[in-house]
């Protein structure tokens, strides 16, 4: 960045910071200058603005009203940065025999956590299990600069919709996550364009070598603990993933879920204990970026595979 450009960006960030900390009227913010800057800078600038405003240490300690924050974020998301996610999804919660054609709250909750913690994904290869409509992964691809992102699911209809949703967001799809890099923009460690693939992956049948071929640094899953059978399948695949070492390290894993039935969640942690996977619950975040009603508690567990 040229020195004058960097001074302009610093001024813009300061202007947002000061106005937000003083809870000034939203119309007084320099939205026009932001729109102009976003044409060249993209999501990084938005992340910097989040750090200077809603994630500012002072705001974390003494947050402004939820209404003010929500209006601010809505305005920020509306800016033409390409950082919106467009989805085609079903209106029924179960259709074609699957729950994967709609976005569930845990997917939104995990996407919010990812947007607030982009470093967990930046320059990493992310494998998502049970991606469904793809909201979480698309948000991560747009906001967290992963090196590669593998969406996966077992259901053919879900996979078809998922591929459509990736393309709808102007992200190009590579044919196979396990083949060598073809796109020249993807072969550097710090490429800004993630290598995105959609894989058919069934937790019940996928083998350790097949999982290892994805070379995941991070594994994520949202709303995949909805019945005892899926819990057992999921723990099986997590156990196989724990044997996938990259640079002698197993992948980091994050599982987000809505607590509908405490016994099912209990089964998950018990089964993980049985196969030697330890876990910790991440602190809850209250900064909602997406409009959704929470009827039940939603949590994220970080797993030590
Ligand atoms: C409730 S949906 C959640 C979708 C998305 N993650 C979300 O939160 O919006 C559960 C997803 O897990 C997938 N799934 C269930 N069992 C699976 C299995 N054995 N292997 C792979 N995917 C599975 C389903 O196809 C479905 O897309």
pLDDT at residue 43 in the model: 67
In this model, does residue 226 exceed pLDDT 60?
A: yes
> How remote is the CA of residue 255 from the centroid of ligand 1, in Å?
12
Q: Give the model's pLDDT for residue 86.
A: 86
Q: What is the mean pLDDT of the chain?
A: 88
The whole-angstrom separation of Cα 53 and Cα 74 is: 13
The residue with greater pLDDT, 34 or 3, is 34
Instruction: Of 174, 214, 180, 216, give the one whose Cα is nearest residue 195.
Output: 174
Please identify, by atom number, the ligand 1 atom nearest to the C-alpha of residue 106: 8
Answer whether residue 183 shows pLDDT above 70: no
- Cα-Cα-Cα-Cα dihedral sign, residues 133, 134, 135, 136: positive
302, β-bridge pairs: 254, 280
Say how many Å lie between the CA of residue 129 and the centre of ligand 1: 7
Determine the average pLDDT of the residues in 134-141: 96
Q: What pLDDT shows up at residue 188?
A: 46
Rounded to whole angstroms, the Cα distance separating 300 from 222 reads 9
**Going by CA atoms, what residue is nearest to atom 4 of ligand 1?**
132
| pLDDT of 38 strictly over 90 | no
Residue 184: pLDDT band (50, 70, 90) is very low
Handedness of CA 265, 299, 292, 42 (dihedral sign): negative
Q: Which of 80-89, 157-166, 219-228 has the lowest mean pLDDT?
A: 80-89
For residues 45 and 213, which has the higher predicted lDDT (pLDDT)? 213
Element (H, E) at 163: helix 156-168
The answer, yes or no, to whether residue 232 has pLDDT greater than 70, is yes
Of all protein residues, whose CA lies closest to atom 16 belonging to ligand 1? 230
**CA 95 from centroid of its chain's CA atoms:** 24
The predicted model gives 221-242 an average pLDDT of 96
Range from 119-123, 127-131, 291-295 carrying the lowest mean pLDDT: 291-295
Work out the average pLDDT over 117-143.
96
**26 vs 3, residue with greater confidence:** 26
Could you read off the pLDDT of 194-216 as tens digits, one per residue? 999 999 999 999 999 999 999 99
Of all atoms in ligand 1, which is nearest to the CA of residue 110?
Answer: 8
Residue 33 has pLDDT above 90, yes or no: no
* Mean pLDDT of all residues in 96-125: 92
Q: Strand pairing partners for 125?
A: 148
Cα of 24 from ligand 1 centre, angstroms: 43
pTM for this model (two decimals): 0.75
Distance 159 CA to ligand 1 centre (A): 11
**Tokens at 286, concatenated:** 């209250």
Give the pLDDT band (50/70/90) at residue 242.
Answer: very high
Cβ distance 86 to 168 under 8 Å? yes
How far away, in angstroms, is 224 Cα from ligand 1 center?
6
Of 152, 153, 161, 206, the residue with max ligand 1 atoms within 8 A of its CB, to mutate for a pocket test, comes to 153
Q: Do residues 108 and 137 lie in contact, with contact meaning Cβ atoms separated by under 8 Å?
A: no
Name the band, by pLDDT with cuts 50, 70 and 90, for residue 66. confident
> What pLDDT sits at residue 13?
94
Concatenated DSSP letters of 209-240: HHHHHT--SEEEEES--SSHHHHHHHHHHHHH
- Percent share of the chain, pLDDT over 70: 90
Domains of the chain: 3-78 (no CATH), 105-304 (3.40.50.150)
Ligand 1 binding site (Cβ under 6 Å of any ligand atom): 98-100, 103-104, 106-107, 130-133, 153-155, 158, 201-204, 222-224, 226, 230, 233
């Amino acid at each position: 960045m040229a020195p004058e450009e960097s001074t302009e960006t610093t001024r813009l960030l300061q202007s947002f910071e000061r106005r937000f900390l003083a809870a000034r009227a939203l119309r007084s913010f320099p939205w026009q200058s932001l729109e102009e800057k976003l044409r060249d800078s993209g999501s990084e600038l938005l992340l910097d603005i989040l750090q200077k405003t809603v994630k500012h240490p002072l705001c974390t300690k003494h947050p402004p009203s939820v209404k003010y924050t929500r209006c601010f974020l809505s305005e920020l998301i509306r800016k033409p940065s390409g950082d919106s996610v467009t989805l085609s999804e079903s209106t029924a919660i179960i259709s074609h025999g699957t729950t994967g054609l709609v976005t569930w709250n845990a997917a939104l909750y995990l996407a919010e956590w990812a947007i607030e913690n982009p470093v967990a994904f930046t320059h990493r290869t992310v494998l998502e299990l049970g991606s469904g409509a793809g909201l979480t992964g698309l948000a991560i691809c747009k906001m967290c600069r992963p090196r590669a992102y593998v969406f996966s699911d077992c259901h053919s209809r879900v996979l078809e919709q998922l591929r459509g949703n990736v393309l709808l967001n102007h992200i190009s799809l590579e044919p196979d996550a396990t083949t060598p890099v073809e796109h020249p923009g993807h072969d550097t460690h710090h490429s800004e364009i993630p290598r995105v693939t959609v894989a058919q992956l069934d937790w019940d049948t996928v083998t350790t070598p097949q999982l290892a071929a994805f070379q995941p640094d991070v594994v994520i899953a949202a709303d995949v603990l909805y019945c005892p059978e899926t819990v057992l399948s999921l723990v099986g695949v997590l156990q196989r993933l724990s044997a996938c070492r990259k640079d002698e390290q197993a992948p980091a894993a994050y599982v987000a879920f809505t607590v509908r039935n405490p016994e099912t969640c209990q089964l998950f942690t018990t089964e993980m204990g049985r196969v030697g996977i330890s876990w910790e619950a991440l602190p809850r975040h209250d900064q909602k970026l997406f409009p959704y009603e929470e009827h039940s508690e939603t949590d994220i567990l970080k797993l030590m595979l």
